């Protein structure tokens, strides 16, 4: 790459960064964290951009590959900031602000070890989070309804597991390592057993894929579910069963083709249910289980023969048990049948009311949402 190209391209990139900085709105204190994060990241990017363009070090022909790589990094990061974070800031509205106040209250209620994320009610794809931007997305209408709000707790935990520098998150990250080690060992043992039995290659290939999924995404997703159960209680599992009922997905799905980012819903349900019982919510767990069994009865889904190899019940139980200690070591607060915070309490009440009076529920929910959002602290 010749020098003139880098001069021109980096100069143009710097201008784009400066224009983005100028467009950061001064929204409100609810969005301040994201405004500051964008400002900090864009300033860092500008500094690197200027360095790549002007520093005599980068004129050296021997470092052009690194220069190009750093330039591409800058462009990728800027793309995400512009298309994700800046879009949120430029479109922030009252729904965003009140959901941010709610998430602030949740993080205080739970004693969440990290800064709260900023939340935007502009998701086109259910609840999700960008830990590297500390930014969570919620579908527009979910901020006005209560039954799926427990999913906020699951997303919060992704921040813990993506955190690199804060040692307060170490207990949960240690739990993640232990889950991976245990499950990897279980599947290795299974592979050896299958080799002895001369099982078809297809089965041993499946084990490789299961190990890959457990090591990469599944351990993380199980821990996020558990965090949500410990912090929010039965409402999170009701929300999970509700989602499984509403959406067309296979409850016992195994990753036969390609990678699955989330473990099978049935395995997730089992881990959550174990955790709920450990917390002392046995009666609630039984109630939820009735609905779960009804759902399975209607869909007529049954697990394949391999399902319990991929998700051994004893391991799922151990995952739930061992994670509680890690959660408490982070200093986070657990719900219990006798003690629940204001937000977890209202979300729990929402599900109780849903079952008590289905026809009256929408009116009850409208009123409860007002109480939930109006009272929460900034």
Partner 1 sequence: MSDTGVPSGIFGQLSEYSLALNRVLVDLKSQPPSGRFAPAERVKDLIQRLAEPWHSELAIQSLSNALQAKSVEFDLAAMRRLQKAIATASTYSGIIADLEALARLVRSQQTGAFSRLRHPA
Burial 342-363 (b: 16+ CB within 10 A, else e): ebbbbbbbbbebbeeeeeebee
C-alpha to C-alpha distance for 14 and 43, rounded to whole angstroms: 10
Sign of the dihedral through C-alpha 264, 355, 335, 105 = positive
C-alpha to C-alpha distance for 3 and 251, rounded to whole angstroms: 56
Dihedral in degrees, nearest 10, Cα atoms 238, 244, 250, 255: -60
Q: Judged by CB, which is closer to partner 1: 43, or 302? A: 43
Q: Judged by CB, which is closer to partner 1: 96, or 155? A: 155
Q: Judged by CB, which is closer to partner 1: 40, or 73? A: 73
In angstroms, what is the minimal distance from the CB of 185 to partner 1? 10
Q: Which residues pair with 137 in a beta bridge?
A: 120, 128
In angstroms, what is the minimal distance from the CB of 133 to partner 1? 7
In angstroms, what is the minimal distance from the CB of 151 to partner 1? 6
In angstroms, what is the minimal distance from the CB of 49 to partner 1? 13
Interaction site with partner 1 (CB under 8 A)? 48, 57-58, 60, 62-63, 65-67, 69-70, 73, 76-77, 80, 123, 125-133, 137, 151, 154-155, 158, 161-162, 164, 173-174, 176-178, 180-181, 184, 212, 215-217, 220, 224, 243, 259, 261-262
Angle, CA 67 vertex, CA 62 and CA 73 arms, to 5°: 150
C-alpha to C-alpha distance for 320 and 308, rounded to whole angstroms: 17
Q: Judged by CB, which is closer to partner 1: 109, or 155? A: 155
C-alpha to C-alpha distance for 329 and 112, rounded to whole angstroms: 12
Q: Judged by CB, which is closer to partner 1: 78, or 350? A: 78
In angstroms, what is the minimal distance from the CB of 355 to partner 1? 23
Say if CB 251 and CB 266 are below 8 A apart: yes
In angstroms, what is the minimal distance from the CB of 132 to partner 1? 3
Collapsing DSSP to helix, strand or coil, 195 comes out as helix
Q: Judged by CB, which is closer to partner 1: 73, or 94? A: 73
In angstroms, what is the minimal distance from the CB of 358 to partner 1? 25
In angstroms, what is the minimal distance from the CB of 97 to partner 1? 22
Q: Which residues, 6 or more positions from 176, have their beta carbon under 8 angstroms from its beta carbon?
A: 161, 219, 220, 223
Q: Judged by CB, which is closer to partner 1: 60, or 189? A: 60
In angstroms, what is the minimal distance from the CB of 305 to partner 1? 26
Structure tokens at 67: 């220069």
Q: Judged by CB, which is closer to partner 1: 41, or 101? A: 41
What is the number of alpha carbons within 13 Å of residue 377 lying toward its C-beta? 8
Say if CB 133 and CB 85 are below 8 A apart: yes
Q: Judged by CB, which is closer to partner 1: 18, or 63? A: 63
Length of the chain as a residue count: 378
C-alpha to C-alpha distance for 185 and 193, rounded to whole angstroms: 12
């Amino acid at each position: 790459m010749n020098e003139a190209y880098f001069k021109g391209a980096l100069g143009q990139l710097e201008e784009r960064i400066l224009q983005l900085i100028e467009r950061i709105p001064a929204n409100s204190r609810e969005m301040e964290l994201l405004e500051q994060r964008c400002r900090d990241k864009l300033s860092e990017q500008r500094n690197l951009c200027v360095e790549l363009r002007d520093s005599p070090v980068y004129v050296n022909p021997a470092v052009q590959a690194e220069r190009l790589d750093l330039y591409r990094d800058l462009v990728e990061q800027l793309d995400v900031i512009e298309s994700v974070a800046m879009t949120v800031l430029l479109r922030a509205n009252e729904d965003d602000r009140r959901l941010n106040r709610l998430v602030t209250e949740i993080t205080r209620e739970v004693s969440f070890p990290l800064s709260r994320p900023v939340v935007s009610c502009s998701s086109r794809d259910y609840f999700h989070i960008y830990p590297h931007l500390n930014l969570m997305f919620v579908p527009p209408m979910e901020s006005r309804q209560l039954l799926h709000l427990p999913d906020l707790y699951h997303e919060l935990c992704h921040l813990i597991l993506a955190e690199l520098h804060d040692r307060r998150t170490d207990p949960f990250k240690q739990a993640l390592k232990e889950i991976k080690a245990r499950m990897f060992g279980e599947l290795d043992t299974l592979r050896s057993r299958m080799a002895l039995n001369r099982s078809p290659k297809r089965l041993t290939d499946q084990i490789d894929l299961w190990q890959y999924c457990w090591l990469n995404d599944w351990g993380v997703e199980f821990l996020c579910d558990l965090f949500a159960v410990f912090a929010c209680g039965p409402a999170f599992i009701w929300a999970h069963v509700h989602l499984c009922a509403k959406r067309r997905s296979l409850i016992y799905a195994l990753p036969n083709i390609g990678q699955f980012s989330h473990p099978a819903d049935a395995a997730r349900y089992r881990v959550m249910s174990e955790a709920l019982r450990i917390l002392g919510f046995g009666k609630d767990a039984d109630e939820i289980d009735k609905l779960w069994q009804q759902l399975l009865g209607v869909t007529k889904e049954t697990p394949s023969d391999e399902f319990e190899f991929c998700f051994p019940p004893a391991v799922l139980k151990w995952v739930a048990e061992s994670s509680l200690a890690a959660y408490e070591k982070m200093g986070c607060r657990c719900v219990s049948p006798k003690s629940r915070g204001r937000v977890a309490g209202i979300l729990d009440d929402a599900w109780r009311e849903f079952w008590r009076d289905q026809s009256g529920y929408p009116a009850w929910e409208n009123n409860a949402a007002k109480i939930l959002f109006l009272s929460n602290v900034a």
